[in-house]
Amino acid sequence: MRFYNLFLCLFIFFHTSDCKSVENSPIYGYHLRVGVPEARRIAVKETLKGSRIVGGSQVTAATVIPYQVGIIAALTGGASSVCGGSLISTTRVLTAAHCWFDGQTRATQFTIVLGSVTIFSGGTRLTTSDVTMHPNWNYYLNDIAYAKISAVTLSNTIQLIALPTTAEASRSFEGLDGLISGFGKTSDAQTTFPTSTALHQTTVSVITNAVCQNSFKVTIDSSHVCTNGTGGKGTCDGDSGGPLTVLLNNKRLLIGV
């Protein structure tokens, strides 16, 4: 059986909404269903060693993926949730819209963690409540948002990730190796505490939406990009909002969240 991962494509921004069941959406209720339990689990075990990204390897230094951002979302009611993000300018972090509002629970503040392979400790830490969701966000389309932060100083552990130019965005990324990273689980079946909470990464292959459509019950839109999860590789709980990047003409580009 073949498995595919679905990402929101960054460079096609506005779309009409589809009328689909909210209950079937993978992002509805993300915080209470995934983010809060994952935040508790990471916080408890962050000081121990071991293994997040499914089928991936641990990132041992922040210099490896310096554009990776960890996000701790403070929720209404007092709980905390976790997501990932990407630093696209010295004052902007790109993430998934459902990390701010998942249709059920809303965040009131993000703690942005930069230059760290752990999310609850280390690195440069900034707080913000200045988050803008896509105006046409719904449970299946336009799941993208940016957080405005105080200007950060770039270093070997904090770097920007480039967005595709118009010309680059018009091409297909099919066949390229995509790099995904995050602080989430390292197994779909993982229910016990891991021995580590460090940032993990893995490589997946970008595939066509036509191939992806055959594996998903929901409609695959032109604003989506799919990757091949053969071998059990892909994102998992807690990785929401994190980067999907490719290397094109010796330049690493952010093509999905």
Catalytic residue among 25, 86, 143, 239: 143
Q: Does residue 188 have an active-site annotation?
A: no
Indicate the average pLDDT of the chain. Answer: 78
Residues of the chain with pLDDT > 70: what percent?
A: 72
Closest of 246, 255, 256, 241 to residue 84, by C-alpha? 241
Q: What is the pLDDT of residue 3?
A: 42
Q: What angle do CA 185, 202, 105 make, to 5 degrees?
A: 40
Q: What is the pLDDT of residue 71?
A: 95
Fold topology of 24-48+65-148: Thrombin, subunit H (2.40.10)
Query: Could you tell me where in the chain the CATH 2.40.10.10 domains are found?
Result: 4-14+162-256, 24-48+65-148
Query: Is the pLDDT score of 59 beyond 60?
Result: no
- Stretch 169-189: mean pLDDT, rounded? 76
Q: Does residue 130 have an active-site annotation?
A: no
Query: Is the pLDDT score of 127 beyond 50?
Result: yes
Q: What is the pLDDT of residue 34?
A: 81
Catalytic residue among 98, 196, 223, 224: 98
Q: What is the pLDDT of residue 113?
A: 97
Model confidence pTM above 0.85? no
Assign residue 37 a region: left if phi > 0, alpha if psi is -120 to 50, beta otherwise? alpha
Beta bridge partners of 87: 93
Q: What is the pLDDT of residue 136?
A: 93
Query: Is the pLDDT score of 236 beyond 70?
Result: no
Q: Does residue 31 have an active-site annotation?
A: no
Q: What is the pLDDT of residues 184-225, one digit of tens each?
A: 654 444 443 333 457 888 888 898 888 887 776 667 787 888
Identify the CATH number of the domain defined by range 4-14+162-256: 2.40.10.10
